[in-house]
Amino acid sequence: MSIGETVNLVNNIEELEKRIDYRFENKTILETAITHSSYIKEHCKGGKSNERLEFLGDAFFDAIIGEELFSVFTDKEEGFLSQLRAVLVCEDSLAKAATRLEIGEFLKLGKGEAKNGGRHRKSILADALEAIMGAVYLDGGFEEVKRVVLGIFADDVRDVEIGKITSEDYKTNLQEILQKNGNIDIKYEVIKQEGPDHDKTFTVRLFINGEPETTGVGKSKKKAEQKAAKHMMEKL
């Protein structure tokens, strides 16, 4: 790495720290958090990408947002809280937060990934934000990652409290509508899987009484099923 590249990296790290409101003792771990696997394949095979940190950060998002919702909605049951947490900690929500922080401009991507719009891809942005939170935990501990996560999602939690953001279980809603007039057969079938194991995309088709109706695409089977049900609700 040249002197100029080193200076740029330091400047980028400092700016990213400002964005997330956390200063790292170990800058290297933040550098790892913003390094996509495509960069490792092109530049430094055997180096570390952000995939392990992403796994760690994902767990803390669930725990921290779950605890916050538990405190906010003292009279709600587990099902309601789980659905609401899924809305706040889904790929779309994380990607929106990463976009607000302009995380994409700091990512170390392979040339091909960067050329193909990787800095704006939802899955990459969401994964990077999770990885950065995993890095914050390893560098500063649970209380710090909790502070950072709740700072980033303060507006979202406020929107939840006032009802601007609600849980949407399209599958259940669709089932209730369709089965009001008798027993109707509703099935979801995965018709396509794309991408590597750590970044798969699923396409699901919804069948009603054996007839294909709508399709949905998501980063998990459940998300794809919800999209298919949502499209059917819109169709109805």
Burial (CB count within 10 angstroms: exposed 0-12, middle 13-18, buried 19+), residue 157: middle
Phi-psi category of residue 76: left, alpha or beta, with phi > 0 → left and psi -120 to 50 → alpha: beta
Could you tell me the two tokens for 164? Answer: 């601007």
Among candidate residues 31, 54, 113, 130, the one labeled active-site is 130
With contact defined as beta carbons under 8 Å apart, do 202 and 190 qualify?
A: yes
Q: Is 58 a catalytic residue?
A: yes
Residue 194 is among the residues annotated as catalytic for this protein: no
Nearest CA-CA partner of 33 in 18, 55, 4, 15: 55
Beta bridge partners of 204: 190, 216
Question: Of the listed 31, 58, 113, 156, which one is catalytic?
Answer: 58
User: What is the spatial distance between Cα 43 and Cα 40, in angstroms, rounded to a whole number?
Assistant: 5
Q: State the catalytic residues.
A: 58, 130
